[in-house]
Amino acid sequence: MSAVFDDKIQTTLADGKLQLAIYTATGRLIEKRRKAIMPEGCPDYQELRTHANAVKRHTIDHLDYYLEEFARNVEAHGGKVVFCKDGQDVADFVLRLAKERGATLIVKSKSMTTEEVDLNERLEHHHLESVETDLGEYIIQLAHERPYHIVAPALHKTREQVADLLTDKLGVARETVIEKQTMIARAVLREKFLSADIGVSGANFLVADSGAVVLVENEGNARLTTSAPKIHIAVAGIEKMIPRAQDLGVFLKLLGRSATGQPLTVYTSFLSGPRRGDEIDGPDEFYVVLLDNGRTKVLADREKRESLYCIRCGACLNHCPVYRKIGGHSFPWIYSGPIGAILTPQFLGVNHEPALPFASSLCGACAEVCPVKIDIPKILLELRSEVKEAEQRQGANRLERIAFRIWAWVMRHPRVYELAGMAAASLAPATDGGAWVRSLRTAIQPTPLRAWLSQRDLPPSPPKSFRQMWRER
């Protein structure tokens, strides 16, 4: 494990306030989802998941076809499609367009894809102001942090912390009532909406047969972002595709319920092209940036391709007991939780943080709640195997490899296995009447045992193994 990863985990675990904030916030989201998928309100929840999985599998398996269809339909509506290889490509495109149009201010609605390519930082580097307009994202931007959670970026911030932040950054009087904090942000952001030259959004779905970008949100800021400025740029990963507008119903039902426990989000925008001649609102120019940034590499891997089915609902984060302990910022990339643990090694390589796929008890809660049925534990296991293959090539972690080789040999030799068990038992400290062991007083203290004992007591060694008891009965 890298020192950075370990350090972030320890810091989060040691922060009692933060622990409570994470546990409470995710607990609330778990409860909301649980209610939203109950048979009374959503009788066909499991069928929806099965259907969504089938649609995603089909789309991802035929992504080339749907990308072409989507691009054709966007252009037919007067929009433009821009294919980008990576973050640099995206930034270059936005900067060039801004320069050509004399734009100086960008408003942004929430988008993990733009976070993925550090778009704000890249634009600011060229003195182009880019303001986040989703409340959570705005808070995070003011704090110069990264989103803590795919859906709830400021999940870790208490209202007191937000009050301090607003006072510090905006010079307003300290305000701890959330509604009033919202009004402060709203006043600032309204001005930005009215003077922005370009609106940048993400995309929850790309609809191939309609050439449309679909956005879901609760604050109305995405609708303003995409209609107030003269130019709208939607930045989307190529995997956001679904074939037909009629497939949308299934995904909208699942996304709102899985993410926030809502049958449907407050706003659902279906954006297909710039403002037509007789329409009263909408942008003059409409661009869809389709981003690869490693997705085609994942697409090429049949075993793990299903990672691209993800619709970014965040349910796996909320239900992950590890995420609920270590929080979002411990994860090495912008995507956290179980989905982050499978996306990061695939996008950035297994060496980026080799310990990441191992930071899971493989409990499977993520797969159980995934609305598109991504088998996250299976992919974690694949990635673990890839990490070990990489270590073997690099000659790393030799001791562990040798230990497992010896272990496997012992397990194929029952007599040796039994003797090894007896030897270990004879070394174990004697306890009174089978009491559990609190500490080792032996000269040799193997690391795994020390780690175990740092948290829990050890079982006492029984006088006889099962096989001995079996023989003697």
Partner 1 sequence: MAARVSLFVTCIVDQLFPKAGMAVVEVLERLGFPVDFPEQQTCCGQPAFNSGYREEARQVARHFLDVFRGAEYIVVPSGSCTSMIAHHFADIFQAEPQYLEQARQLAPKVFEFSQFLLEVAGVEDVGARLDEVVTYHDSCHALRELKVKDGPRRLLSHVRGLELREMDAAEECCGFGGTFSVKFAEVSGGMARNKIDSIVRTGASAVVSVDSSCLMQLQGALSRAGLPIRTLHLAEVLASR
Residue 27: other Cβ atoms inside 10 A: 12
Q: What is the largest CA-CA distance in the chain?
A: 92
Q: Which is nearer to partner 1, 180 or 456 (CB)?
A: 456
Q: Which is nearer to partner 1, 33 or 122 (CB)?
A: 33
**Rounded to the nearest whole angstrom, what is the least distance from the CB of residue 466 to partner 1 in the complex?**
4
Q: Rounded to the nearest whole angstrom, what is the least distance from the CB of residue 284 to partner 1 in the complex?
A: 51
Residues 6+ apart with CB under 8 A from 75: 81, 211
Residue reference for tokens 């003697």: 472
**Spatial separation of the C-alpha atoms in residues 315 and 261, rounded to whole Å:** 10
Query: 312 and 217 in contact (C-beta within 8 Å)?
Result: no
* Nearer Cβ to partner 1 (222/326): 326
Q: What is d(CA 40, CA 47) in angstroms, rounded to the nearest whole number?
A: 15
**Nearest to partner 1 of 170, 416 (CB atom):** 416
Which pair of structure tokens corresponds to residue 196?
A: 């922005």
What is the size of the binding site for partner 1 (CB under 8 A)?
66
Among 162, 360, 370, 373, binds partner 1 (CB under 8 A): 360
Q: How far is the CB of 29 from partner 1 (least distance, A)?
A: 15
CB of residue 437 to partner 1, shortest distance in Å: 9
CB of 145 to partner 1, least distance (A): 22
Residue 344 sits in the site that holds partner 1 (CB under 8 A): no
Binding range to partner 1, per CB under 8 A, among 49-57, 64-72, 236-244, 352-360: 352-360
Nearer to partner 1, 258 or 330 (CB): 330
Q: Per-residue contact track with partner 1, 68 to 107, x per CB under 8 A? A: ----------------------------------------
Cβ atoms of 291 and 236 within 8 Å: the answer is yes
Query: Which of 305, 311, 330, 306 shows the shortest CA–CA distance to 320?
Result: 330
Nearer to partner 1 among residue 65 and residue 409 (C-beta):
409
**Distance between CA atoms of 198 and 93, rounded to whole angstroms?**
13
Q: What are phi and psi of 264, to 5 degrees?
A: -155, 145
Helices 45-61 and 248-260, interaxial angle, to 10°? 120
Query: Which of helix, strand or coil describes residue 84?
Result: strand
Plot region of 333 (φ>0 → left; ψ -120 to 50 → alpha; else → beta):
beta
Is 407 a binder of partner 1 (CB under 8 A)?
yes
Q: Nearest CA to 376 among 406, 346, 353?
A: 346
Q: Which of 128, 234, 367, 379 binds partner 1 (CB under 8 A)?
A: 367
CA terminus-to-terminus distance, the chain:
47
Residue 293 is encoded by which pair of tokens? Answer: 């940034």
Binder to partner 1 among 8, 13, 282, 440 (CB under 8 A)? 13
Candidates 6-14, 104-112, 248-256, 279-287 — which segment interacts with partner 1 by CB under 8 A? 6-14
Residues ≥6 apart with Cβ < 8 Å to 25: 152, 155, 156
Q: What is the CA radius of gyration of the chain?
A: 26
Among 1, 177, 264, 266, binds partner 1 (CB under 8 A): 1
Is the Cβ of residue 263 or residue 434 nearer to partner 1 in the bound state?
434
Q: How far is the CB of 30 from partner 1 (least distance, A)?
A: 10
Considering the rule CB under 8 A, would residue 178 count as an interface residue with partner 1? no
Task: Tell me, residue by residue from 410 to 449, as one string, x for binding to partner 1 by CB under 8 A and - for no binding.
Answer: xxx-x--x---x--xx---------xx-x--------xx-
3-state secondary structure 304-364: CHHHHHCCCCCHHHHHCCCHHHHCCCCCCCCCCHHHHHHHHHHHHCCCCCCCHHHCCCCCC
CB of 147 to partner 1, least distance (A): 21
Work out whether 458 is an interface residue with partner 1 (CB under 8 A). yes
Contact indicator for 298, 344 with CB cutoff of 8 Å:
no
Q: Is 464 near partner 1 (CB under 8 A)?
A: yes
Among 245, 381, 396, 440, binds partner 1 (CB under 8 A): 381
CB atoms near residue 452 (< 10 Å): 14
Which of the stretches 115-123, 255-263, 337-345, 376-384 binds partner 1 when contact is defined by CB under 8 A?
A: 376-384
Q: Which is closer to partner 1, CB of 178 or CB of 424?
A: 424
Q: Which of 89, 325, 348, 440 binds partner 1 (CB under 8 A)?
A: 325
Among the candidate windows 69-77, 82-90, 216-224, 363-371, which touches partner 1 by CB under 8 A?
Answer: 363-371
Q: Is 349 exposed, middle or buried (0-12, 13-18, 19+ CB in 10 A)?
A: middle
CA distances in angstroms from 306 to 205, 290, 348, 361, listed in the order given: 17, 19, 17, 21
Q: Which residues bind partner 1 (CB under 8 A)?
A: 1, 9-10, 13, 23, 321-322, 325-326, 355, 357-365, 367-368, 378, 381, 384-388, 400-401, 404-405, 407-412, 414, 417, 421, 424-425, 435-436, 438, 447-448, 451-452, 454-459, 461-462, 464-470, 473
